[in-house]
Structure 1
Amino acid sequence: MTVEAVAAVPTAQPRRASLPMYDFPELRDAHTLLWSALARRMGEAGLDGVPDLLTFDAEPAALWRAPDLFLSQTCGFPLVTSLGGMVKVVATPRYRAPGCNGSRHRGFIVVAADSGVQRLVELRGSRCVINGWDSNTGMNMLRAAVAPLAREGRFFGSVEVSGGHLASLRSVAEGAADVAAIDCVTFAHLSRHRANLAEGVRVLAVTAATPCLPLVTAAATDDDTIAILRAALQAVAASSDLAPIRADLLLDGFDLLPDRAYKVVSGLASQAAAIGYPDLA
């Protein structure tokens, strides 16, 4: 083979990777170091096209649907609704955070620290804020929790969208809303890094548990690539050198769950609808 022919051999173009679900500024360095370790291990395994850096500026929902998605973390609710056929689950993280049990997590239903509310039923007619209509912990789990208390399809006086768990927490702490449901891992991170804000609310109740936010890749990703991805994840989970990074991220490891594991997410929606509460209202 000539030099020219060798030079013409195509190389795999790097795809995109992101870890957007807990991407607080205080965790950016830890996420970057974690990805560097993952990318290095995949490169050593001979995998081409591994991105050197995480993508931080892409809209998460758009990247989840992109054909060049290498790895990202999504929410369990879009996984079982809008992302059907677009992604494959690579692994489910385990977190060391109150509210987590293995690779399952819960939503914390929070009210202001000085609120006199003691029971969920007392929130009837109150101002609710959610991070988004496609959120499992912020909307779907909350809907399931209050569904038995709803009357004629309504429970809250109003429902506003904040755009993120941090903004929802701030709304409750500052009195702009009465209640929100916050992902328990997010709450743990904010309790560590934004203690003054977290102390402005208290946990009134916890939701049912569902699997933690899954790591996903594009549906077209081949099985060999997924196997290398999973091996790299297990390697960084076991590395003593990366223990401080995992501690910063509250990361305990990764589980490989069967596809049916996330059916509990859509099951919560079905249960609420079955008792006359199909929409959070």
Structure 2
Amino acid sequence: MSKFVAALPMYDWPETRGEVDAQWARLRDAFRQKGIDAPQAVARSNGDLPPVPGGVRGGDGKLIAPDPATLPADEFDFHQLWLSPALLFGQTCWGPMELGLAQHVQVIAQPSYDAFEGGRGELYSSALVMPADGEPSVASPEDGKPVIPLDLIRGRRFVFNDPDSMSGLLGLTRDLEAMGESLDIFASRGESGGHRSSIVAIAEGRADIAAIDCQSWALAQRFEPAAQGVKVVGWTARRKGLPFITARTTPADVIASMREAVREFGVGG
């Protein structure tokens, strides 16, 4: 059994688990061909993470996360995953990275978002969605610049997935600030817990607007019925997408081999 952990949790919807498992199987086999002890399956809960007696500590010896064995086994704390010293291959968001995670991990590569409207290469953007009104959705701009309809969103109820999310909150905040505005443009702000939940909240009339990253928006159009009740009214600027990461202690030669494998499979660069 491998001593390492791998996970691809950011787009691991129940309906896409077969696709995520297949993606990991391709990467796992490529890693193993390069002599890397890649785990058989991805982790999907705290119970899948190896215990760290005394808790996880950073490079300076300070405690940065509890022992995974002390957390609810059937839940999945993404920060616990990202900080695990056993993390071989995972995925995070640039929001947590900018807020401190970057000092505890190493970036392997950036995935490609070419397959999704609003994405280009390693860059992605978020669709601004509001209740459908019979009018067509706004297409993603070719130049990747933000399309923020200030008059339309002013005074609305904004819902976001997570406070440290680049796609759901931080990116839009920066775009508004560049326009001389702020989140105060909204009548209220609330946390939904996930992009999918934000879409449902809007469709059910509990919120008016949300920023949904382009890959999650594509998934919602495939699998979430509530997506039929919303439409795209604008887009945030394109930014670097969700990076693939590994533990800060992963050796440089292992990282180099993983980068080569990722490039070979066209998963990222």
TM-score range, shorter chain: 0.7 to 0.9
Q: TM-score normalised to the size of structure 1?
A: 0.75
Are 1:54 and 2:27 counterparts?
Answer: no
**Relative to 1, partners in 2 of residues 1:53 and 1:13: Cα closer, same or farther, differing over 3 Å?**
closer
What residue is the counterpart of 2:99 in the other structure? 81
Task: From the two aligned structures, give the one with the greater helix fraction.
Answer: 1
Checking the alignment, whether the CA contact within 8 Å between 1:120 and 1:204 is kept in structure 2 is no
CA RMSD of aligned residues (A): 2.0
Shift, 1:144, TM fit? 2.1
Shift, 1:142, TM fit? 1.5
Shift, 1:146, TM fit? 2.8
Query: Between Structure 1 and Structure 2, how many residues are aligned?
Result: 225
2-structure distance, mates of 1:143, 1:224: 38
2:125 to 98, 101, 106: 106
Shift, 1:234, TM fit? 2.4
2:84 to 50, 66, 88: 66
Query: What are the equivalent positions in structure 2 for 1:64-213 lying under 5 Å apart?
Result: 64-95=82-113, 96-114=115-133, 119-147=149-177, 148=179, 150=181, 154-194=184-224, 196-213=225-242
What residue is the counterpart of 2:257 in the other structure? 228
Shift, 1:174, TM fit? 1.3
2-structure distance, mates of 1:199, 1:13: 43
**Relative to 1, partners in 2 of residues 1:149 and 1:202: Cα closer, same or farther, differing over 3 Å?**
farther
1-structure distance, mates of 2:241, 2:40: 26
2-structure distance, mates of 1:131, 1:190: 14
What residue is the counterpart of 1:21 in the other structure? 10
Shift, 1:231, TM fit? 2.1
Deviations 1:61-104 (A, max 9, x none): 11111111111110111112220311111010002100001110
**Relative to 1, partners in 2 of residues 1:115 and 1:61: Cα closer, same or farther, differing over 3 Å?**
farther
2-structure distance, mates of 1:160, 1:218: 32
What residue is the counterpart of 1:264 in the other structure? none
What residue is the counterpart of 2:34 in the other structure? 45
What residue is the counterpart of 2:73 in the other structure? none
**Relative to 1, partners in 2 of residues 1:181 and 1:115: Cα closer, same or farther, differing over 3 Å?**
farther
Which secondary structure does the structure 2 equivalent of 1:199 belong to? helix
Shift, 1:149, TM fit? 5.4
Which secondary structure does the structure 2 equivalent of 1:132 belong to? coil
Shift, 1:21, TM fit? 0.5
- Percent of aligned positions that are identical: 35
Q: Which runs of 5+ in 1 are unaligned?
A: 1-11, 238-252, 256-281
1-structure distance, mates of 2:253, 2:212: 36
Instruction: In structure 1, give the amino acid aligned to 2:28.
Output: A
1-structure distance, mates of 2:133, 2:79: 36
2-structure distance, mates of 1:13, 1:65: 18
**Structure label with greater radius of gyration:** 1
Instruction: In structure 2, give the amino acid aligned to 1:150.
Output: E
Q: Which runs of 5+ in 2 are unaligned?
A: 46-75, 136-147
Shift, 1:13, TM fit? 4.8
2-structure distance, mates of 1:16, 1:185: 24
Shift, 1:199, TM fit? 1.9
Q: TM-score normalised to the size of structure 2?
A: 0.78
